[in-house]
Amino acid sequence: MANGGNYKARISITTPPLSPCDRWMHDVLSRSQAAAARLEALENLARHCRDHRAFQAIRPIIDHEMDDLSVRKAIVRALALWEDGFFPAMAVVHALSVPGLRQVAVETLDAMSPVSGQKETRLLAELANQPSGAARQFRMAVMPGLYGRDHRFLNYLRETLRSGNRWERAMAASVLCGIGEIEPALEAAADPEARVRKSVAAAIGGFHEERGLPVLERLLGDPDAEVVYQAAESLRRLGRSAPQVADGFDWMALLRELSEYRSADAGVRAASPGWLGESGATETQIAALEQRIGRALPPSYRAFLAASNGFHHPSSFIQKIFGVEQVEWFREHNAGWAEAYRETYPLLGSCLQVSAVGDAAVVLLNPAVVDAEGEWQTYFFANWIPGARPYPSFRAFMQSELDGMCEWKGV
């Protein structure tokens, strides 16, 4: 029978002990632990706990520049033990562009090569059935994450340098540089096409490839202004001094090359034979658009319209960049779409729609984010991303439609 006093139940809560795998993961992640203890825990983890959960736990450490470099290198090496998985191989490829980890990433990719089993079957099938046009460059960009430095893939890239068109050669040189096959990549810096030389210069800087320094110095004297600009930018990325040079950008040069590149696709050729651009808009037409929307246009989009009042098939997902007559605020015809993303992109309806809606995708200019030069942030917005892929300007977006098919950034 209960008495009148207060009664407090005493409950003993016992925390279950950590499993060995959880304990090793905890020790690897703990920066308060000595490096030797973390490396021992990583060794045990890689030997006994090679599941996706363990991979997800250790993978982010690769990017922690303030963490112990010996631990980060050991994680890259350990990922070779997960070689049958797709994501661990991609993580090693990603490490190629992380300062301090490039050499160990190359060595790990060598340890993971050649591929075998289903990966080998898939590689041989892909090498035997190569697509053409943009699909080929896209496949080249994806293949390192699948096949690393498999000698058959490297031979394919070398052959593309000999026999591909200028865009294919540019991507092949960029990938070769990225995955550590330096000699053929640097030799491509003597290619007769500026597009290839620019890709080599970009790859040297993007992958912090010190062996490319003499090439960058030589490319400072290149006859193409964009190659010179890229060489100077890459030298600065490598911590070297470089002259201040104009970027050499020219809208008509970009649009002519983009038109030629996209027209290599038979479907694009059939839909829009010939030049994919239009005659430039007049100053009166551009001013009328600015008056209609009540805003001054960002400078790079304004310059685009003056060069070409619209553009057909700039990418596989966008059928047309509008001319001045078709530009409208996104809310005018896509209020429901904007409402669907209201929580994540509350100002979407206030963006300026500058393209037709393609494969559930559209190009938008965001007047709420403006830089010091007056450029509006540009969105490639698609349901299947899902959401917005941002660019600092309309020019950056249009350049990416070509550069992205010629310059490999890693995974």
In contact, 21 and 42? CB cutoff 8 Å = no
Residues 140 and 168 in one domain: yes
Lowest mean pLDDT among 77-91, 94-108, 364-378, 381-395: 77-91
The predicted structure's pLDDT at residue 132: 79
Residues 146 and 77 in one domain: no
Look up the CATH number of the domain holding residue 156. Answer: 1.25.10.10
Rounded to 5°, the CA angle 55-89-139 comes to 140
Amino acid identity at 224: D
For 27, residues 6+ apart whose C-beta sits below 8 A from its C-beta are 33, 37, 38, 40, 41
Nearest partner of 262 among 209, 330, 315, 307, judged by Cα = 315
Residues 274 and 393 in one domain: yes
Separation CA 147–CA 153 (nearest Å): 7
Asked if residue 256 is part of any domain, the answer here is no
Separation CA 182–CA 168 (nearest Å): 17
Residues 143 and 184 in one domain: yes
Task: Please say which residue of 111, 129, 153 terminates a domain.
Answer: 111
Mean pLDDT of all residues belonging to the chain: 93
pLDDT tens per residue, range 14-72:
666 789 999 999 999 999 999 999 999 999 999 999 988 999 999 999 999 999 999 99
Residues 124 and 106 in one domain: no
Residues 49 and 90 in one domain: yes
pLDDT tens per residue, range 204-248:
999 999 999 999 999 999 999 999 999 999 999 999 999 999 888
Residues 395 and 281 in one domain: yes
Residue 335 has pLDDT above 70, yes or no: yes
pLDDT tens per residue, range 64-102:
999 999 999 999 999 999 866 778 889 999 999 999 999
Which residues are bridge partners to 378 per DSSP? 365, 391
Separation CA 235–CA 229 (nearest Å): 10
Amino acid identity at 54: A
Mean pLDDT across the stretch 147-176? 97
Asked if residue 98 is part of any domain, the answer here is yes
Asked if residue 1 is part of any domain, the answer here is no
Residues listed for the chain = 411
Q: Could you give the number of structural domains in the chain?
A: 3
Residues 184 and 223 in one domain: yes
In contact, 341 and 351? CB cutoff 8 Å = no
For 390, residues 6+ apart whose C-beta sits below 8 A from its C-beta are 377, 378, 379
Nearest partner of 251 among 228, 272, 280, judged by Cα = 280
Tokens coding 159 = 């052959």
Residues 211 and 322 in one domain: no
Asked if residue 408 is part of any domain, the answer here is no
Boundaries of domain holding 383: 265-403
Task: Please say which residue of 52, 81, 111 terminates a domain.
Answer: 111
Confidence of residue 10 (pLDDT cuts 50, 70, 90): low
Side-chain-facing half-sphere of 369: CA atoms under 13 Å? 15
Residues 276 and 314 in one domain: yes
Asked if residue 325 is part of any domain, the answer here is yes
Residues 343 and 376 in one domain: yes
Separation CA 339–CA 173 (nearest Å): 44
Separation CA 335–CA 145 (nearest Å): 39
Task: Please say which residue of 69, 95, 111 terminates a domain.
Answer: 111
Amino acid identity at 150: D
pLDDT tens per residue, range 307-327:
999 999 999 899 999 999 999
Residues 25 and 73 in one domain: yes
Mean pLDDT across the stretch 174-185? 97
Nearest partner of 305 among 316, 290, 292, 318, judged by Cα = 290
Asked if residue 254 is part of any domain, the answer here is no
Asked if residue 13 is part of any domain, the answer here is no
Asked if residue 97 is part of any domain, the answer here is yes
The predicted structure's pLDDT at residue 368: 96
Three-state secondary structure readout of the chain: CCCCCCCCCCCCCCCCCCCHHHHHHHHHHCCCCCHHHHHHHHHHHHHHCCCHHHHHHHHHHHHCCCCCHHHHHHHHHHHHHHCCCHHHHHHHHHHCCCCCCHHHHHHHHHHCCCCCHHHHHHHHHHHHCCCCCHHHHHHHHHHHHHHCCCHHHHHHHHHHHHHCCHHHHHHHHHHHHHCCCHHHHHHHHHCCCHHHHHHHHHHHHHCCCHHHHHHHHHHCCCCCHHHHHHHHHHHHHCCCCCCCCCCCCCHHHHHHHHHHHHHCCHHHHHHCCCCCECCCCCHHHHHHHHHHHCCCCCHHHHHHHHHCCCEECCCCCCCEECCCCCCEECHHHHHHHHHHCCCCCCCHHHCEECECCCCCEEEEEEEEEECCCCCEEEEEEECCCCEEEEECCHHHHHHHHHHCCCCCCCC
Look up the CATH number of the domain holding residue 384. Answer: 3.40.1580.10
